[in-house]
Every structure is written in structure tokens, then in C-alpha cells.
Amino acid sequence: MADEPAPERADAARNRQAILVAALELIRTRGVDCVTMETVASAAGVGKGTLFRRFGSREGLMAAVLNESEAAWQASVISGPPPLGPGAPPMERLLAFGHSRMRTNVTSGALIKAATGDSSARSRAAASFAVMHVRHLLHELRVSGDLVLLSIAILAPLDIMVIEQQQRDHISLDRIEAGWDDLVRRVVGG
Amino acid sequence: MADEPAPERADAARNRQAILVAALELIRTRGVDCVTMETVASAAGVGKGTLFRRFGSREGLMAAVLNESEAAWQASVISGPPPLGPGAPPMERLLAFGHSRMRTNVTSGALIKAATGDSSARSRAAASFAVMHVRHLLHELRVSGDLVLLSIAILAPLDIMVIEQQQRDHISLDRIEAGWDDLVRRVVGG
């Protein structure tokens, strides 16, 4: 009994979750720049006042959406369906990881700009998760050597700043993906 | 005659150069944190007032030293003695480049923190020079594929943030260098 959350608290958590899900859906369909506090409030079925009380500002809401979406992505890497999640051979998982990270980063690019908070702390946390995961897959692939250093090299071209620069240079995501697959095969070797 | 700089201007440039050389020498021997405006002024044979008039502040002086030292390093890559400069086989040049970049970054780490100015603009400029150079060497090594993407991967472990993290984890520069050489050999291939 003592461990059960008070009903108001459970309600608040559900409410928060509903707001974040509604916001993410709106961002995906309309793009970050077209999502206002009004549209999110109305889609989530709450008042605009609730939204401001809970997230402080539009930037605060965007930061919460970003954290939620990064956590969901990490969960799909750890325990989602293969080939991103466990179950597929490690090389397939590694390639799926890179493609998924690249596309997630492209989607999050606009969100990162719209969000407040310590973006460098957030990206350090995401980077350290990615290094741990790639290192684990390199180990499964029986690559020997400094696996952290090799992981850092493999992950560098997936960085959002790098991808955005290549998009400005009109290089397609498919072409970046093909170049990245080639890099991975070179590093992993025969 | 019209193209000759006025004597005062040539003097000022020589003066500036002498100050930067003296500051860099002091930083190398004593470490950034032990270098004050007084010690630099006295080593360069100018008054402390001249130093403040010319560089605004200690941070401004450090930024000028950093630019000077980056420019000198780039010059040694472009036209210095081999294997860093031209003349050595491309694989030797590539390895020398990485080792030299890594050690330059370690020396500059403290300087970057002590300097004012747009450090992200400075590091973008340095990164784009490095990508161009590595891409050129990969081309000489007849590597095929997306050479920019491969260069970004090769350069990532040399980033000052990455090196500093590894130093905090008590990984020696020699060990980082050995891991980096292995990465380069994997990417360049047979």
C-alpha cells in the first residue's frame, strides 16, 4: 500500500505521457516549426494553462519530447525487434543501428534547436550510449583492438552536425548510408 | 614606394610577432596557467600597457597565440619537412599527421580554455583543414569510396574532447596512438 503512488500522481504521469505522445505525433506529421502550445493542448485534450504549468514554455515542452524520443529509441535498441534490437547477427545489428541513428538524428535536428536545456549534456549522454552499444557489437564481431576508439570513429559520420552539413551539400541520406556501410565493413574487416 | 608599409606598421607587426613568440615559448615551458601578462611583457621586452592595448586582455592574447600556433601547424603540414610535410609516402604522412594533430590538440587544450573568441568557428576551420588533408592522402593511397565520410571517421578519435576524456580514464597517448594507427590501417585496407 505504501509503495502505491497516490492517485493524483499516477494521473499526472499519464497526463504527461499523453501530452508528450500528442506533441511527438504532431511534430512528426507537421514539423516542429508548425507545432504551437495550442495545437498540442488541443490534441492532448488538456488546457493550454496545464501545458505551461507543466513544461514552463514551448522550449521546455520540446526538451521533454526530445528526452522521451531518445529514451524510446534507446529502448528499441536494447529490447525492440531485430535487426535494431537483439536477435539478428551483429553485423546486421550494427548496420541497422547506424541507419536508424542517422534518421533519428535528422528528425531530432529541428527538435534540438527548438528545445532548451543543456544540449551538450544531452548529446554526451546519447553519444556514450551509442559508443557502448557499438563497442558491444564490435566485440560480438570478434574485432580486436581499441574498441572504444574504433566505435568513436564509426559513430562520427552519424553526428547531426556532420549529417546537416552533408545535406546542405545536397548529399542524399541513401548515399551517406552507403558510405557509412563501407566504413563499417572496412573497420570490421574480413 | 606606395606598396611599402609605413615604418610604424612594419614595426608594429614585428612587435606583435615577438610578443606571440614569447608567449608561446612561455606557455610551452611553464603551462598556460602560469603565464601572466607581466611575464609575457617582460619576456617580449615591451610594457604591460602595450600588451593590453594590443590584445585587450589575457584571454585576447591567448586567442592570438592559438591562431598563430594553428597557422604554424597548418604550414608545417602543407610545406614543412616530411613525414608531416610533403615528400614521404602517403601512409607515413597520414600516420604522422594523426600523431602530430593529437599532440597539438593536447597542448592546445588548456590554451583553448584560456582564450576568448568563437571557439566553435575556430574548431570548424581546423576540422575542415584536417578533412581536406586526410581526404587528399586517402586519394593518394588509392582508397575508393566516400573519402570525406572516411576522413571524418578517421579524424574523430583525435578530437580534443575525446582525447581529454581518455586522459581522464588514464589511457596514455602512446596507447591512443597505437589504436589510431590500427583504425587507419583498417580504413585504408590492404
Provide the pLDDT for residue B150. Answer: 97
Quick check: A168 and A134 in contact, CB under 8 A? no
Are A145 and A55 a contacting pair, CB within 8 Å? no
The one-letter code for the residue type at B120 is S
Average pLDDT rounded to a whole number, residues A109-129: 75
| pLDDT at A118 exceeding the cut of 80 | no
> To the nearest whole angstrom, how far is the Cα of A119 from the nearest Cα of chain B?
15
Mean pLDDT computed over every residue of chain A: 88
Q: Which residues of A touch B130 (CB under 8 A)?
A: none
C-beta separation of B68 from B24 below 8 A: yes
Predicted local distance difference test score (pLDDT) of residue A1: 45
Closest Cβ opposite residue A157 in set B152, B183, B186: B152
Retrieve residue B29's grid coordinates.
615551458
- Inter-chain contact B149–A187, Cβ cutoff 8 Å? no
Of the listed ranges A12-21, A75-84, A114-123, B74-83, the least confidently predicted one is: A114-123
Q: How far is CA A104 from CA A23, A74, A96, B92, B186, in A?
A: 16, 11, 12, 38, 28
pLDDT at B1: 46
Of A149, A186, A189, the CB nearest to B157: A149
What pLDDT digit, counting tens, does each position of A55-109 carry? 999 999 998 998 888 888 999 999 999 999 999 999 999 999 999 999 888 878 7
Distance of residue B149 Cα from the nearest chain A Cα, in angstroms: 6
Binary contact (B183, A179; C-beta < 8 A): no
CB contacts, 8 Å: A175 with chain B: 146
Distance in Å, alpha carbon of B22 to nearest chain A alpha carbon: 35
For B125-162, b/e burial (b = at least 16 CB within 10 A) is ebbeebbebbbebbeebebebbbbbbbbbbbbbbbbeb
∠ CA A92-B146-B79, rounded to 5°: 135
Provide mean pLDDT across the span A42-51. 92
> What integer pLDDT is reported at residue B42 of this predicted model?
94
Whether the upstream peptide bond of residue B83 has omega within 30° of 0, thus cis, is yes
Q: A71: which residues sit within 8 A by CB, 6+ positions away?
A: none
Length of chain B, please? 190
Point out which residues pair with B86 in neighbouring strands: B88
Closest CB to A157 among B153, B179, B183: B153
Chain B residues in contact with A153 (beta carbon < 8 A)? 153-154, 156-157, 183, 187
Percentage of chain A lying above the pLDDT 70 cut? 92
Q: Is the pLDDT of residue A155 over 80?
A: yes
Q: What is the pLDDT of residue A8?
A: 62
Are A88 and A82 in contact, with CB atoms under 8 Å apart? yes
User: Rounded distance, CA B108 to CA B23, Å?
Assistant: 13
Residues (pLDDT < 50) of chain B are 1
In the prediction, which pLDDT does B140 show?
95
pLDDT at A164 over 90: no
Per-residue confidence (pLDDT) for residue A46, from 0 to 100: 92
Q: CB neighbours of A22 closer than 8 A, spacing ≥ 6?
A: A40, A43, A44
pLDDT (0 to 100) of residue B177: 94
ipTM exceeding 0.85? no
- Hey, are the CB atoms on B187 and A186 less than 8 Å from each other? yes
Looking at per-residue pLDDT, the higher value among A161 and A43 belongs to A43
Residue A127 — very low, low, confident or very high, per pLDDT cuts 50/70/90?
Answer: confident
Considering CB atoms only, which of A146, A156, A182 is closest to B152?
Answer: A156
Q: Which chain A residues contact residue B162 at CB under 8 A?
A: 152
Interface contact B182-A145, CB threshold 8 A = yes
Chain A residues touching residue B157 (CB < 8 angstroms): 149, 152-153
Q: What is the pLDDT of residue B142?
A: 96
Q: Which residue of A has its CA nearest to B180?
A: A149
The closest CB to that of A186, out of B166, B176, B189, belongs to B189
What residue of A is the nearest CA neighbor of B162? A152
Say how far apart CA B97 and CA B113 lie, in whole Å: 24
Q: How confident is the model at residue A6 (pLDDT cuts 50, 70, 90)?
A: low
Higher pLDDT, A111 or B3: A111
Q: What is the pLDDT of residues A137-154, one digit of tens each?
A: 999 999 999 999 999 999
Band (A162; pLDDT cuts 50, 70, 90): confident
In this predicted structure, what is the pLDDT of residue B22?
93
